[in-house]
Amino acid sequence: MNYHILKKDGLDGFIKKLAGQMKVCAPVAKGHGAFAFEEVSSAAEISLKYIPTILPPKKYFMPPREKMLEFDLNGDKPKDAANLEPEKLALFGVHTCDLAGIQCLNMVFSERPRDYNYLLRKENIFIIGLECNEYCDGNASCALVGNHYPNGGYDLFFTDLGDRFIVHVNTQKGEELAESQGLPKASPADLSALEKARDAKKHVFQNEIGVGPKLLPEIFARGMESKVWQELGKRCVSCGNCTNVCPTCYCFDMSDTINLDMKTGCRTRTWDSCQFETFASVAGGENFREERAHRQRHRYYRKFKYPLDKFYRSFCTGCGRCTRTCMAKISLKDTLKTLAAEYK
């Protein structure tokens, strides 16, 4: 594979040309230090320096509310169909933590029985990554899980080299786009500049909790009864912010809506949260995760324990969103540090 160069003053032309081909979504400043992926048509609208967006790019792969089935009760027996109009879309400026998040969801939804809604959307999304040369803020823990460097998951990947971006091409589709945009090949000098930038990151990004990631499964295996869960439980609001903003939370609920004709309607999938009180309750009244402490514990285990056994990777991408959004100041890094300290 190879590298191209895009001069920074050429970015606007790049985005405009791309926007002529498909919808382009990129991080946009929303004020008060918040950002969101939104449709753009020029480089001026994009925030190249941004902390992780309120919602991760998962919203394009698995929309918060999605129609999964339409039904029609006119006639002798019901009819239904699963229809989808997948939108051709380019995501620009996706950080490495969010690329990792998308990779996690890809694994989940391509596992059988497959989720064709997700897969069809994914096939229509072109992904352009953007490297972080420094931390977004102190809430991130990407170095802990090794997501501060790119590990695939994109078509093109941009790294800022001052006056220009060096663009790594990861897919044939990416190469075709780079060529159609007329991006020149990177020179040996560009490549050594990239190497230097990556080297510099080694000093900037350091394991945020001071415990090797290899120890995490063992820490969690022993941490089931830790006091930390009760402490979290006392503080948790059960608002579901942490799971809604998580790039790898994918739990959902299904519900039916009927139209006023009482004959046609649809089934909708909506993001759900294991933090909600009734999430694990059954019709008979039993609630298998009644306490906030247990629900918080469950969330952490779904990031640091279960997926490691099943998919061989952490489902915490280190983006720091859950900490940033928590109404009650529950910090992922602090929780991990407490668990690690108890382990020792």
Partner 1 sequence: MTEIKNSNWRLRKGQIVAARQMTDLEKWFEIKLEDGDLDHEPGQFVQVEIYGVGEAPISVCSSPTKRGTFELTVRAAGRLTKYMHGLGKGDWLGIRGPFGKPFPVKLMTGNDLLFVAGGLGIAPLRSLINYVMDNRREFGKVDILLGCRTPKDMLFGDEIEQWQKRLDVNFSCTVDRTAPDWKGNVGLITSLIPGVTINPEKTFGVVVGPPIMYKFVIAELLKKDMPERQIILSLERHMKCGMGKCGHCQIDHPKNYYCCKDGPTFTYEEVKEAKRF
Partner 2 sequence: MKTTDKTEHTPAGAAGARTKPKVAFFDFASCEGCQLQITNLGETLLDVLGAVDVVEFREAISEKYDGVYDVAIVEGSIGDSHAEERLKKIRERSKVLIAYGACACTGGVNGMKNGFQLDEIRQYVYGKDYKLFDSTPTRPVHEVVKVDYFVNGCPIYPPELIEVLKHALRGLPYTVPDNPVCAECKLNENVCMYERGVACLGPWTKAGCNSWCVNNGNICYGCRGEVKNPARNAAADVISKYNLKPELIAKKFEMYNKCKEGAK
Residues of the shown chain interacting with partner 1 in the complex, contacts defined by CB under 8 A? 68-69, 71, 73, 77-78, 80-86, 108-109, 111, 113-117, 120, 221, 224, 250-258, 262, 265, 267, 272, 274, 279-286, 288-289, 294, 298, 301-302, 305-306, 309-310
The reply on whether position 257 binds partner 2 by CB under 8 A is yes
With a CB cutoff of 8 Å and minimum separation 6, the contacts of 160 are: 48, 130, 131, 133, 197
With a CB cutoff of 8 Å and minimum separation 6, the contacts of 289 are: 274, 279, 280, 295, 298
Site string for partner 2, 215-254 (x = CB under 8 A): -------------------xxxxxxxx--xx---------
The entry of partner 2, partner 1, none that residue 191 binds, CB within 5 to 8 Å by partner kind: none
The reply on whether position 295 binds partner 2 by CB under 8 A is no
Q: Compute the distance between CA of residue 50 and CA of residue 93 in angstroms, rounded to an integer.
A: 10
Site string for partner 2, 304-333 (x = CB under 8 A): ---------------------x-xxx----
Using the 8-state DSSP alphabet, how is residue 315 labeled? S
- Residue 22 identity: M
- Phi/psi at 309 (5° precision): -70, -40
Residue 206, SS3 per DSSP: coil
Using the 8-state DSSP alphabet, how is residue 312 labeled? S
Which one of 12-20, 31-39, 78-86, 295-303 is the stretch in contact with partner 2 (CB under 8 A)? Answer: 31-39
Q: How far is the CB of 36 from partner 2 (least distance, A)?
A: 5
Q: Compute the distance between CA of residue 246 and CA of residue 325 in angstroms, rounded to an integer.
A: 10
The reply on whether position 262 binds partner 2 by CB under 8 A is yes
Question: Nearer Cβ to partner 2, position 3 or 61?
Answer: 61
The reply on whether position 202 binds partner 2 by CB under 8 A is no
With a CB cutoff of 8 Å and minimum separation 6, the contacts of 212 are: none
Q: Compute the distance between CA of residue 84 and CA of residue 14 in angstroms, rounded to an integer.
A: 29
- What the block records as the tokens of 190 is 């560009």
The entry of partner 2, partner 1, none that residue 294 binds, CB within 5 to 8 Å by partner kind: partner 1
Q: Compute the distance between CA of residue 72 and CA of residue 81 in angstroms, rounded to an integer.
A: 9
- What the block records as the tokens of 15 is 């985005």
- Phi/psi at 247 (5° precision): -70, -10
Q: How far is the CB of 180 from partner 1 (least distance, A)?
A: 26
Binding positions for partner 2, 35-54, rule CB under 8 A: 36, 54
The entry of partner 1, partner 2, none that residue 241 binds, CB within 5 to 8 Å by partner kind: partner 2
The reply on whether position 32 binds partner 2 by CB under 8 A is yes
Binding residues for partner 2, rule: CB under 8 A, are 30-34, 36, 54-55, 59, 64-65, 234-241, 244-245, 257-262, 270-271, 273, 276-278, 292, 325, 327-329
